[in-house]
Amino acid sequence: MKDELYYQVALTLIPDLGPIRARLLVEHFGSASSVFKAKKKEISVIEGIGEFSARAVKNWNGFAEVDEEILFIEKHRIQALFITDKDYPQRLLHCYDPPTLLYYRGNADLNSSRIISIIGTRNHTDYGRQVTEQLVAELEAQQVLIVSGLAFGIDSIAHKISLQHGLPTIGVLGHGLDTIYPSQNKSLAKEMVSHGGLLTEFRRNTKPDKHNFPKRNRIVAGMADATIVIETASKGGSMITAELACNYNRDVFAIPGRINDQKSSGCIQLIKQNKAVLLTGAEQLAETMGWLDKKKPIKKQKELFIELTADEKVIVNILKEKETVPIDALYLQSGLSSSNVAAAILNLEIQSVVVALPGKMYKLL
């Protein structure tokens, strides 16, 4: 008898289905196995699916490939994180196109309370290197999880300095876990598995083809609270990632450079277009993200005069446990629907019980 993982992998192998339709199917039927057990008519009538996708599901017969993928997962002790799993990066669920299944090797918490993506050009300057090294070193005090793409240049520097300062770091790959690209980063990747991790939505035998990297970039942008662009030209992968972060309503920061330096032209463009905040250091980042605020106890008198609803009490109890809490954590820990969380927060803000901070963080007054 096949387990649920078998059908989860199978769902990702159906050609032309894609993560958006896959998510619709899972939300409708409740599980991947239930999707395969459903009749074609039941699938085709779902809004956003249609006859073509229903036929693709029912006619698909690539289960031999699923067996091979499962063997690879088990052999290399890979964590397969399905979109409904609690360990799946929950911030991605607030993006419109989250990967259906992620393959993960590592020990870092993908739902850490503070996650930052650092990206930039492969052909960095000495200035870009110095800024990246200094920024990551200063972030050690904030105990953030650093995410990047394991590419040459700024990505590799961010990963290496994170490891040197004891910060967990995740490399998001544009290929399967059976290879490392670029190959020169194999030793770095091995160290990251022990002090962070490697994450990808691509199955084994997937080559690092050019069209895979924009898909990779959406994970880099979506799983973090903020994206920091160190150096980039006005076109390229870093600009794609920054645009995706903007579209996902994530905070974007850019390091300023010389106006006549091509490698800083993308950062300057993002700042000029108000798509990124000009960043000068880790202290500014921590302040903007609300990490420096000290917890203030709830005033006893407020509790006497304010009657909270059941939903509001859930939110307040979560906020009592930590200094600041990101909106994604409130969704995850409360177990409430996104609309109920939004309504509860709004009422609490009106009653001056809760205050919103930059970076979509919340704390008690």
pLDDT tens string 242-279: 999 999 999 999 999 888 899 999 999 999 999 999 99
Q: Specify the CATH architecture of the domain 106-288.
A: 3-Layer(aba) Sandwich (3.40)
> Residue 110 has what pLDDT?
97
Q: Quick one: what percent of the chain has pLDDT higher than 90? A: 74
Closest by CA position to 161, among listed 124, 182, 130: 130
Interaxial angle between packed helices 154-164 and 186-194, expressed in degrees from 0 to 180 and rounded to the nearest 10: 40
Closest by CA position to 212, among listed 202, 222, 220: 202
pLDDT greater than 70 at residue 17: yes
Whole-angstrom distance, CA of residue 35 vs CA of residue 58? 9
pLDDT tens string 145-192: 999 999 999 999 999 999 999 999 999 999 999 999 999 999 999 999
Per-residue confidence band for 293, with pLDDT thresholds at 50, 70 and 90: low
> Residue 1 has what pLDDT?
54
pLDDT tens string 192-211: 999 999 999 999 999 999 99
| DSSP SS3 for 83 | coil
> Residue 296 has what pLDDT?
47
> Residue 337 has what pLDDT?
84
pLDDT tens string 85-103: 999 999 999 999 999 999 9
The predicted model scores a pTM of: 0.79
Whole-angstrom distance, CA of residue 338 vs CA of residue 345? 11
Which residues lie below 8 Å from residue 176, measured CB to CB, with a gap of 6+?
A: 103, 200, 202, 203, 204, 205, 206
- Which run of H or E residues covers position 253? strand 251-254
The residue among 361 and 151 whose pLDDT is bigger is 151
pLDDT greater than 50 at residue 65: yes
Q: Quick one: what percent of the chain has pLDDT higher than 70? A: 96
> Residue 333 has what pLDDT?
86
Per-residue confidence band for 298, with pLDDT thresholds at 50, 70 and 90: very low
CATH number, domain 4-75, options 3.40.50.300, 1.20.1420.20, 1.10.150.20, 3.40.50.720: 1.10.150.20
pLDDT, mean over the chain: 91
> Residue 167 has what pLDDT?
97
Pairing relationship of beta strands 361-364 and 354-357 according to DSSP bridges: antiparallel
For the chain, give percent helix, strand, coil, nearest 5: 50, 15, 40
The residue among 308 and 228 whose pLDDT is bigger is 228
How confident is the model over 351-356, as a mean pLDDT? 86
> Residue 359 has what pLDDT?
72
Classify residue 14 as exposed, middle or buried by CB count within 10 Å of its CB (0-12, 13-18, 19+). Answer: buried
Question: Could you tell me the residue ranges of all domains in the chain?
Answer: 4-75, 106-288, 300-364
The residue among 100 and 335 whose pLDDT is bigger is 100
pLDDT greater than 50 at residue 300: no
> Residue 322 has what pLDDT?
80
Give CATH for domain 300-364. Answer: 1.10.10.10
> Residue 302 has what pLDDT?
46
